[in-house]
Amino acid sequence: MAKKKKAIWEWNIVRRALLDAFLKLNPRKMMGNPVMFVVEIGSVITTALLFKGGTAFKFNLQITLWLWFTVLFANFAEAMAEGRGKAQADTLRKARSETIAHRLTGSNGKLEDVPSSKLRAGDLVFVSASEFIPSDGEIIEGVASVDESAITGESAPVIREAGGDRSAVTGGTRVLSDKIKVKITSNPGETFLDRMIALVEGAERQKTPNEIALNILLAGLTIIFLLAVVTLQPFAIYSGSPQTVFVLVSLLVCLIPTTIGGLLSAIGIAGMDRLVQHNVLAMSGRAVEAAGDVNTLLLDKTGTITLGNRQAARFVLAPGVTENELADAAQLSSLADETPEGRSIVVLAKERYGLRGRELSSHDAHFVPFTAQTRMSGVNLNGFEIRKGAADAVYAYLTQHGREVPSAVKTTVEEIARSGGTPLVVAEKTRGALGVIELKDVVKGGMRERFDQLRAMGIKTVMITGDNPLTAAAIAREAGVDDFLAQATPKDKMDLIKKEQAEGKLVAMTGDGTNDAPALAQADVGVAMNTGTQAAKEAGNMVDLDSNPTKLIEVVEIGKQLLMTRGSLTTFSIANDVAKYFAIIPAMFAGTFPVLNALNVMRLQRPESAVLSAVIFNAVIIIALIPLALRGVKYHAMGAAALLRRNLWIYGIGGILIPFIGIKLIDMLITRAGLA
Amino acid sequence: MTANGWFQILFFLALIFLVTKPMGVFMARVFSRERTFMDPVLRPIEKLLYRVTTVDENHEMRWTEYAVSMLLFSLVSMIVLYLMQRLQGYLPFNPQKFGAVSPAHLAFNTAASFTTNTNWQAYAGESTMSYFTQMAGLAYHNFVSAAVGIALAIAFIRGIARRQMETIGNFWVDLVRACLWVLLPFCVVGALVLVSQGVVQNLRPYDKVSVVEPQQVQKLDPNGKPVVGPDGKPVMDTVTEQTIAQGPVASQEIIKEFGTNGGGFFNANSAHPFENPTPLSNLIELFAIFTIGGGLTYTLGRMTGSPRHGWAVWAAMAILFLAGVTVAYWAEARGNPLLANTDQRVTAMQPGGNMEGKEVRFGIANTALWATVTTDASCGAINGWHDSFTPLGGMVPLVNIMLSEVIFGGVGAGMYGMLIYVVLAVFIAGLMVGRTPEYLGKKIEAYDVKMAMLVVLVFPLVILVFTAISSVNGFGTSSIANPGPHGLSEILYAFTSGAGNNGSAFGGITVNTPWYDTTIGVTMLAGRFLMIIPMLAIAGNLAQKKYVPPSLGTFPVTTPLFTVLLIGVILIVGALTFFPALSLGPILEHLLMGIGRTF
Q: What is the pLDDT of residues B186-217, one digit of tens each?
A: 999 999 999 999 999 998 899 999 988 888 88
From chain A, the residues in CB contact with B565 under 8 A are 644, 648
Asked whether the beta carbons of residue B460 and residue A220 sit closer than 8 angstroms, the reply is no
Minimal Cα–Cα distance from B562 to chain A, Å? 9
Asked whether the beta carbons of residue A567 and residue B471 sit closer than 8 angstroms, the reply is no
Minimal Cα–Cα distance from B370 to chain A, Å? 30
Mean pLDDT across B228-253 = 88
Q: What pLDDT, on a 0 to 100 scale, did the predictor assign at position A2? A: 38
Mean pLDDT across B111-139 = 91
Contact A546, A154 (CB under 8 A): yes
Question: In degrees, to the nearest 5, what angle opens at C-alpha A142 toward C-alphas A139 and A144?
Answer: 85
- Tell me the HSE value of A339 on the side-chain side, using a 13 A CA sphere: 16
Mean pLDDT across A366-394 = 82
Q: What percent of chain A has pLDDT over 90?
A: 28
Instruction: Please identify which of the residues A165, A273, A300, A524 carries the catalytic annotation.
Output: A300
Asked whether the beta carbons of residue B468 and residue A231 sit closer than 8 angstroms, the reply is yes
Q: What pLDDT, on a 0 to 100 scale, did the predictor assign at position A338? A: 72
Residue B530 has pLDDT above 50, yes or no: yes
From chain A, the residues in CB contact with B580 under 8 A are 228-229, 232, 235, 251, 581, 585
> For residue B596, is it left (φ>0), alpha (ψ between -120 and 50) or beta?
left
Task: Choose the mutation target among A208, A216, A248, A636 for the interface with B, i.e. most B CBs under 10 Å.
Answer: A216
> In the beta sheet, which residues pair with residue B167?
B62
Give the confidence band of A593 by pLDDT, cuts at 50, 70, 90.
very high
Asked whether the beta carbons of residue A596 and residue B591 sit closer than 8 angstroms, the reply is yes
Asked whether the beta carbons of residue A234 and residue B469 sit closer than 8 angstroms, the reply is yes
Residue A100 has pLDDT above 60, yes or no: yes
Asked whether the beta carbons of residue A563 and residue B445 sit closer than 8 angstroms, the reply is no
Q: What pLDDT, on a 0 to 100 scale, did the predictor assign at position B30? A: 96
Mean pLDDT across A404-425 = 85
From chain A, the residues in CB contact with B457 under 8 A are 220, 223-224
Contact B150, B412 (CB under 8 A): yes
Asked whether the beta carbons of residue A217 and residue B436 sit closer than 8 angstroms, the reply is no
Contact A625, A543 (CB under 8 A): no
Q: Return the C-alpha torsion angle B4, B7, B13, B17, nearest 10.
A: -150
Residue A151 has pLDDT above 80, yes or no: no
Higher pLDDT, B101 or A355: B101
Give the confidence band of A195 by pLDDT, cuts at 50, 70, 90.
confident
Higher pLDDT, B340 or B405: B405
Contact A454, A553 (CB under 8 A): yes
Residue B144 has pLDDT above 90, yes or no: yes
Residue A86 has pLDDT above 90, yes or no: no
Q: What pLDDT, on a 0 to 100 scale, did the predictor assign at position A1? A: 37
Query: Residue A425 contacts by C-beta under 8 Å, 6 or more apart in sequence?
Result: A388, A389, A390, A391, A394, A395, A409, A413, A433, A435, A436, A437
Question: Nearest CA to A99 among A160, A190, A173?
Answer: A173
Contact A313, A301 (CB under 8 A): no
H-type alpha helices, B88-139: 104-115, 125-128, 131-132
What distance in Å separates the CA atoms of residue A660 and residue A510, rounded to the nearest whole number?
48
Mean pLDDT across A502-526 = 84
Q: What pLDDT, on a 0 to 100 scale, did the predictor assign at position A6? A: 55
Task: Choose the mutation target among B420, B433, B462 for the interface with A, i.e. most A CBs under 10 Å.
Answer: B433
Predicted confidence (pLDDT) per residue in B269-292, tens digit = 999 999 999 999 999 999 999 999
Measure CB to CB from residue A598 to each of B435, B581, B591 and give the nearest one: B591
Of A417-426, B77-86, B326-335, the least confident: A417-426
Asked whether the beta carbons of residue A567 and residue B432 sit closer than 8 angstroms, the reply is yes
Give the confidence band of A4 by pLDDT, cuts at 50, 70, 90.
very low
Tell me the backbone φ, ψ of residue A395, rounded to 5 degrees. -55, -45
Asked whether the beta carbons of residue B555 and residue A644 sit closer than 8 angstroms, the reply is yes
Measure CB to CB from residue A227 to each of B464, B565, B572 and give the nearest one: B464
From chain A, the residues in CB contact with B450 under 8 A are 213, 216, 220
From chain B, the residues in CB contact with A643 under 8 A are 432-434
Of A383-387, B163-167, B532-536, the least confident: A383-387
Q: What pLDDT, on a 0 to 100 scale, did the predictor assign at position A205? A: 65
Q: What pLDDT, on a 0 to 100 scale, did the predictor assign at position B289? A: 95
Q: What percent of chain B has pLDDT over 70?
A: 100
Instruction: Search chain B and give the residue with CA nearest A637.
Output: B553
CA distances from A313 to A230, A416, A422, A440 (A): 77, 11, 10, 6
Letter string b/e over residues A96-112, b meaning 16 or more CB atoms within 10 A of that residue's CB = beebebbbbeeeeeeee
From chain A, the residues in CB contact with B434 under 8 A are 292, 559-564, 567, 635, 643
Contact B289, B373 (CB under 8 A): yes
Residue A423 has pLDDT above 50, yes or no: yes
Residue A295 has pLDDT above 90, yes or no: no
Find residues 577-596 of chain B whose CB sits inside 8 Å of chain A.
577-581, 583-584, 587-588, 591-592, 594-595
Q: Does B337 touch chain A (CB under 8 A)?
A: no
Residue A3 has pLDDT above 50, yes or no: no
Give the confidence band of A154 by pLDDT, cuts at 50, 70, 90.
low
Asked whether the beta carbons of residue A645 and residue B561 sit closer than 8 angstroms, the reply is yes
Predicted confidence (pLDDT) per residue in B300-315, tens digit = 999 999 999 999 999 9
Instruction: Name the pairing type of β-strands A542-544 and A525-529.
Output: parallel
Question: In degrees, to the nearest 5, what angle opens at C-alpha A618 toward C-alphas A615 and A622?
Answer: 145
Find residues 435-494 of chain B whose CB sits inside 8 Å of chain A.
435-436, 441, 444-446, 448-450, 453-454, 456-457, 460-461, 464-465, 467-469, 471-472, 477, 484-485, 487-488
What distance in Å separates the CA atoms of residue B141 and residue A376, rounded to the nearest whole number?
91
What ipTM was assigned to the predicted interfaces of this complex?
0.91
Predicted confidence (pLDDT) per residue in B13-53, tens digit = 999 999 999 999 999 999 999 999 999 999 999 999 999 99
Mean pLDDT across B387-412 = 92
Verify whether residue A495 is a known catalytic residue. no
Measure CB to CB from residue A639 to each of B464, B472, B552 and give the nearest one: B552
Residue A627 has pLDDT above 80, yes or no: yes
Residue A500 has pLDDT above 70, yes or no: yes
Measure CB to CB from residue B427 to each of A217, A229, A505 and give the nearest one: A217
Give the confidence band of A456 by pLDDT, cuts at 50, 70, 90.
confident
What distance in Å separates the CA atoms of residue A496 and residue A488, rounded to the nearest whole number?
10
| 0.90 exceeded by pTM | no
Of A410-414, A466-470, B48-52, B162-166, the least confident: A466-470
H-type alpha helices, A203-257: 209-238, 245-255
